[in-house]
Structure 1
Amino acid sequence: MRIADRYELGDIIGTGGMSDVYAAKDTMLGRNVAVKMLKVDMARDENFRERFRQEAKNSARLNHPNIVAVYDTGSQLVDDIDVPFIVMERLMGRNLRDILRADGPLPPPEAAAMMIPVTRALQSSHDAGIIHRDIKPANIMVTNTGEVKVMDFGIARAIDDSTSAMTQTSAVIGTAQYLSPEQARGKPADARSDLYALGCVLYEATTGTPPFEGESPFAVAYQHVQEDPEPPSERIAYSLSPNEAVNVDAVILTAMAKHPADRYQTATEMGSDLALLERGSVTNAARTYLAAAESDYGATPDATSVSGTAVRGGPPVRREPVPRGGAGAGAAAGAAGAGAAGAGAAGAGAAGAGAAGVAGSRRAGSSGASAGSTRYADHRRANSKNDSGWMKWVAALLGLVLLGATGWFAYSYFSGENDDPAKVQENMIAVPDVAGKPRQDAQSELEGLGFRVVISDEPHPEVPRGNVIATNPVAGSQLAAGTLVTLNVSSGRELTDVPDITSLTAQEAAEALEEAGLELNEDIHREHSDSAPDGVIISQHPAAGSQISKGSKVTVTVSDGRAKVKVPNLVGLDVDQATATLASLNLESTVSRVDSDRPDGEVLAVAGSGSEVDSGTTVELRVSNNMLMKMPEITRMTPTEADKLLREAGWTGRLVAGPTVSTGALVDVGQIGHQEVEAGELIRKDQTVGYNLWEFDPAKLNPMNN
């Protein structure tokens, strides 16, 4: 298929909820490109078309070596539907998701080195006023040449278009495992939201698992808002020194702070710490963390050192007002508890530290210390000499108080602030049954009733893509206005990676596809192949590595082996004509020159003429060399006359005189009386010809002697 009279589409090399990506050839410039096209069923919706155009517009504003380049954009009529497309740089390599699946987690220095180019790309994007909003391993590509590229600005938003209708929705956009707390709440995202997502990606790159996992996207989003991640150093498989653990935890948990003000404020700032982490130096986040931790344990920060480097104070610790709801409240409360009870209250701080380690070090240092890695917690606790039983009781009591406070904040956030039971009962609204309805209709209906709506995409084998599967809470639930309701929307069948089934037989391919949740299309195409044996798959669609819905069918082309060709009868043709004819039939040729009186180059015979052979077989042509001629009659000629006659016939040999022959006729003297080769016989043109001359013998005159 050719679009825009320029781009020749090939196999699908990637697919997502909204679009497919094709390998393509720019016929005008002769270069390989990737063409991203909105899916036809999505193109019927103006909202999706507008979002796709916005992606092209945002991507066109970016020009950075670590961001996939966009070359062109346009639209193509497909089934009378105007389908937009984007022409992009074609990348050859693997994305980070595939790297982690195949090779496992990366050592922290290697992971940091891979993320540094991502921070450069994000800083360029943020400087251009574009927030990516979907940073995840699948959108980070490592090319075959080692370059790191950030892809897919499909849900990116320009900072300056925050008032547009498309962005003024309470729908949550992004991937649950890498969703910032503010995005999970349906609040506006900024550049620091991308850094939170990058922290989650770095967490997964070093540990092999995302920071939060759950049975549904809603459950994961809830954890991003309310729960602290386990320090990554606790999940890293191999042993880390206390200093290495501090460095890794500090960088990742700073990026993942619940409150945006506690994170790295720019991608450049995070990139600087990643560079320090890569080479094993003390990161700024670690200095801040340890300075705050030592301060709350009662030690002198100036005496603290990491990796042999003295930490002289570090950035001041901000103690900010506790925001309504969210994990920041837990962090502040944990800090207060730790400050009151000293080192003995560290356990209570850990129970509710919402900022998870380093986030707490920026906002309230003690919660950072308590939530940090246990690999070096014991080392720090050893500095405290004043633990006692009553302090442990205080710590436990503070933990219970903090737990109750955290629960109250969560309840107040999700249920509203109306404390009057009568008013709450009066304002209760029943959740309508919107199962099966299109997403937009269901969302509008729920928002019209006063609910806040979160969209959670889930695969479903039966519910059409874009339609609602169910709500959470379920239909019929009585909720207060402003309560968060999750719309579980079908993304179609569950996606799976297409395995490589080339070089397999159809039976082997069917088994491999079944393991991946796919089916082999029974309509098997067959074609001849010069390289693949008979019965082996030589191509497949979609291509290996593509993502398609489970239950989909994969079409294959199976080799019929080499094509059979009938060897033609080429006798009488010129050798050049004969070899050209064989080449057009995909046959090779070899020429054998043989003696013949036929014209030079004329085909005398064809080996295997009339038989069927494999395509590519070599056929022998026997071709005349025109080295034979018929011997003329040379008797009764002088040798000179005979030589002239022979040479006029193309002969190049020489005449050789033999013994004379007696004759009684004087008129015969000096003439050839006998020739070695009879007239009419074939001779080679370079052959020697013998002859005998007549010699007069008087005895031959006596009739009695005759």
Structure 2
Amino acid sequence: MSQPRLLGGRYELDGVVGRGGMAEVYRARDLRLDRLVAVKTLRSDLARDHTFQARFRREAQSAASLNHPSIIAVYDTGEDMIDGVSIPYIIMEFVDGRTLKELLDDDRRLLPERTLELTDGILRALEYSHRNGIVHRDIKPANVMLTRQAEVKVMDFGIARAMNDSQATMTQTSQVIGTAQYLSPEQARGERVDARSDIYSTGCVLYELLTGRPPFTGDSPVSIAYQHVREHPVPPSELDPEIPEWIEAIVFKAMAKDREERYQSAGEMRADIQRGLQGMPTEAGTMAMAPAGSTTMLPPVQQERRDDYDDYDDGYDDHRGRGDDRTKKVMWVVLALAVLGAIGFLGWMLMRGGAEGITIPDVAGSSPEEARQTLEGEGFTNIDEEERPDDEVEEGQVIGTDPGQGQSVSEDTAITILVSSGPGTIEVPDVSGQSEADAMQQLQEEGFQIGPISREASDSVAQGQVVSTDPQAGSAVEPGTSVSIVVSTGPSTVEVPDLANMNREQAQSKLSEVGLSANFREEENGDVAPGTVLSQDPAPGERVEPGGSVTVTVAKAPAQQSPDPGPSDDEGNEGEDDGPGGGPHGSPPPGWPEEMPWPPGAGNMSWRD
């Protein structure tokens, strides 16, 4: 039995769960953290391109910096050597669910309101990524997952950008071919894209969720891209009369050919959707698709136009009606002539524009001042600057222009110089109260390095849990920043001092110095001076809470004992006078006959003269 393939010494692969034109996705187990993960590995032919590898690594790191409930988390990246070739891989959150593409392939039709809920999930992910300076560039049903809990998860952030930076063309890689149906017009023209390009692609996805078909289809990626630039889709309400006008208007606004006429942010589109769902007027209103240019179109009959789309082999023609073959042939001829005329007119317009316009120069990598001088030298008069985060271009240097370099435009066209503000920032999460291990795991998963770990007493945080971090939670920092962790050792305590051989006053003073009080008790002891400490409880060196009490036992002198009374003994006691009558037993009273012995104990008598 063959051993499972192991990546990075910790990720055990457990079979392929998905394949695409660019990568394979495996189900795997993280042996270190004992959890399921998804592993995406690049195709070996792409991995041989060192330039692509380098850009892919940078983009994977950028994707790892995104932490949002609507984005599939990227945990780790690495490389695996296979046949002498380094194959990059990405470790991602494993999501139990289905992609929207699989949902559409099952011919599942959703209520219009449900399609808007799914779109809202996509927009929430884009709103967060755009705020962090990352444009997805490849929004499509295959990159959106729906979990078993009906939550939306967007994946493959940054991968499309790496492909674009490798200058892949629509005919060179099947990755781009596979997504031609969702390309924005500026992507199809090879221009620089921004967040509004993701808005257009989201509009295409919403169109397909509503109608069950993409907005444009064709027999080649080039023909589809042409439609994105010059054509307009069949209105969704013509394909499904139950689609409300206000939803159709939102689709049209998101898919506007001119990015200035689209929603300018994901948040703006989300807000318009929410207004519509609440029965309020939308910003899109009842916007209708206006002509994209001066291309002359033959006035079609609405039903015929719908049939024309059905004739494409796009997987949605299972219930197509059959008409007269001759009529269809005529329609195809008319359509072909219209397309050829449009292509010819477009070529003439491009040549005309190139002759009269000014080509935007490449100013990437220069300073803003140098870029402005270069553009002014070319004759441009309407120049502005805008800062954007960028992980690759040094802060203060020019990323490029909008419109992008190489385009031919008029001299009064608004040119925006895009200046790098440095890498995008991420927010330090609040891990206080978590265990040390859980806090480290979360920080690493969100793209941080683990700094020094220190420990300190805390009266409010349990032992072993995180007290704080440095930088503190909520701080905006660059991805990869080192974060130090402070872990609680439990409530603060003081050490009981050694009071041996101290007197009472010294012991009292020593305990007061460390915030403790004394509870004195005495014990008879004749071996040491009274007041000397004999013992203490707790013992020296133990730790107690501040303000606690220490029982101190000190010596006291033994009690004096009275002598026992004994028989009278006159010998050797002459002259002693211990009693009131003199002598040890007193003296005889005056006039006592000398020949009579003085009786013992007579000294205890009281006599009067």
TM-score (normalizing by structure 2)? 0.47
The structure whose residues are more often helix, as a share, is 1
Q: What is the TM-score of this pair, normalised by structure 1?
A: 0.41
